[in-house]
Chain A
């Protein structure tokens, strides 16, 4: 559970985060979306107590992070995969973090195994690819087996196989009842992982919604050589908005099944009959404009 209330942050005259209020519930993946520079990372840093807000507050499990006795057991964060000492081995990197929260060697080996880095754990993290560093960062976040996960752009730098792997892992972690907040500037990527979406632009909350609500059906696309005739028929049968252009029609107010039946009854040939969905990217750009 993460609660953000009236959170604001300025850098000089620039307002990075502006009166942001939302909460992130357990058992679901919450996507934190916004264009670059929208204040996503700053918000996550304030939730983690790294940066101090000018106004408002952020609570994790009802407390400030600094008030949690062994914070790694409550919250795991991946903010910056490049944050490793280049001359320290992956295992030592995790070991140093584990010691600070009384976590044992066995747990270090478990998370290394979980992210698939066991074979390279003895190697210096400085030589890792961005994808391997993302896996190491995720291992660090998971060390304390925390109920809350905060992941900033975890997909960055992963190859297609890695992307599928991390998607599956994130969904599994949420299904286990954890609170998962995942930021991204890519709508398409987030839509396939997240249940809920929190969309920010220029530091402000612009939408707190779900993927389904954002991608709701938007009319039926019909292609036919008799567009005008079919349009007249459909209007008399309850279509609210028919807009013929050449051999194409976009029909609102009737489903695909009804449009097909009416066309058959009238003997109109159809080349195409498709439910149209609003493009998530378009919806995202509309929201964040």
Chain B
């Protein structure tokens, strides 16, 4: 198993696109933290006095909606590139235990997206706070209860989304197809929540991988939505189901 992981680790670092994708994860986080920070500041400036009094500052993780596309791409590539370059046959003759190949890719993908996600999460929070502070908008105190979870959570959430991307890449084999699924699942479905009937919107907010996972990073304590642990559990379940499906398909399918 350790040899399979070392092989996957080497594959990951011997192509330049790994660097580009990891850089994209961090840069997208910083970029959208600035954009959303300014948008929030503008919105704050237009608020009435009553609205301002009710305003409760909290970290803004909307940038992660965009970051997750890069993270999903990082995950799905691990399989789709091997199918594109036809090296899958080589991988499976040198490591014929297919579960081992999947596990090794999951370890490498999970580890790197955890690290990149953790860094990106901190950048998102602190860039956003810097923008808001510079525009005179109040930010919440770092010592607020739950802030440790909010600061440590993005790595975990993005690693799970990376693993979902990995599973989708394994199932679909094509980069374009898997990327479309990642974008539709990660962005389109949650972004259109306001168009759905309320029961469906609530269902998606509570049980969709990205929206449920974002509950981990929330400080609002909304009693109608899952708490941080429950939200994380939902995303974990999605990742587990998709990885199990990927395992079954990879074992049965002709390489």
Chain A residues at the B interface, C-beta cutoff of 8 Å = 45, 48-52, 65-66, 68, 71-72, 75, 77, 79-80, 82-89, 92-93, 95-97, 99-102, 140
B98 CB, min distance to chain A CBs, angstroms: 8
Interface stretch of the complex, out of B82-90, B175-183, B195-203, B205-213: B82-90
Please determine whether B3 and A99 come into contact, CB atoms closer than 8 angstroms.
Answer: yes
Question: B149 interface residue, CB < 8 Å from A?
Answer: no
Which chain B residue lies CB-closest to A9? B254
Collect the chain B residues with CB atoms within 8 Å of residue A71's CB: 93-96
Q: How far is the CA of A54 from the CA of B226 in the complex (A)?
A: 48
Please determine whether B93 and A95 come into contact, CB atoms closer than 8 angstroms.
Answer: no
What string of 1s and 0s marks CB contacts (under 8 Å) between B1-38 and chain A? 00110110011001111000000000000000000000
A105 CB, min distance to chain B CBs, angstroms: 11
Which chain A residue lies CB-closest to B91? A100
A140 CB, min distance to chain B CBs, angstroms: 7
Chain B residues at the A interface, C-beta cutoff of 8 Å = 3-4, 6-7, 10-11, 14-17, 81, 85-87, 89-97, 252, 254-255
Which chain B residue lies CB-closest to A83? B86
Collect the chain B residues with CB atoms within 8 Å of residue A89's CB: 14
Please determine whether A65 and B93 come into contact, CB atoms closer than 8 angstroms.
Answer: yes
Which chain A residue lies CB-closest to B98? A66
Q: How far is the CA of A72 from the CA of B7 in the complex (A)?
A: 13
Please determine whether A50 and B92 come into contact, CB atoms closer than 8 angstroms.
Answer: yes
Collect the chain A residues with CB atoms within 8 Å of residue B95's CB: 71, 100
Q: How far is the CA of A77 from the CA of B91 in the complex (A)?
A: 11
Collect the chain B residues with CB atoms within 8 Å of residue A97's CB: 7, 90, 94
Among all A-B residue pairs, the 9 with the closest Cβ atoms = A100-B7, A92-B14, A66-B96, A83-B86, A51-B254, A50-B255, A99-B7, A99-B6, A96-B10
Please determine whether A96 and B86 come into contact, CB atoms closer than 8 angstroms.
Answer: no
Collect the chain A residues with CB atoms within 8 Å of residue B91's CB: 100
Collect the chain A residues with CB atoms within 8 Å of residue B11's CB: 85, 88, 96
Collect the chain B residues with CB atoms within 8 Å of residue A140's CB: 90
Q: What are 19 A-B residue pairs whose CB atoms fall within 8 Å in the complex?
A: A45-B255, A50-B93, A66-B96, A71-B95, A71-B96, A83-B87, A85-B11, A85-B81, A85-B87, A88-B14, A89-B14, A92-B10, A92-B14, A96-B7, A97-B90, A99-B7, A100-B7, A100-B91, A101-B3
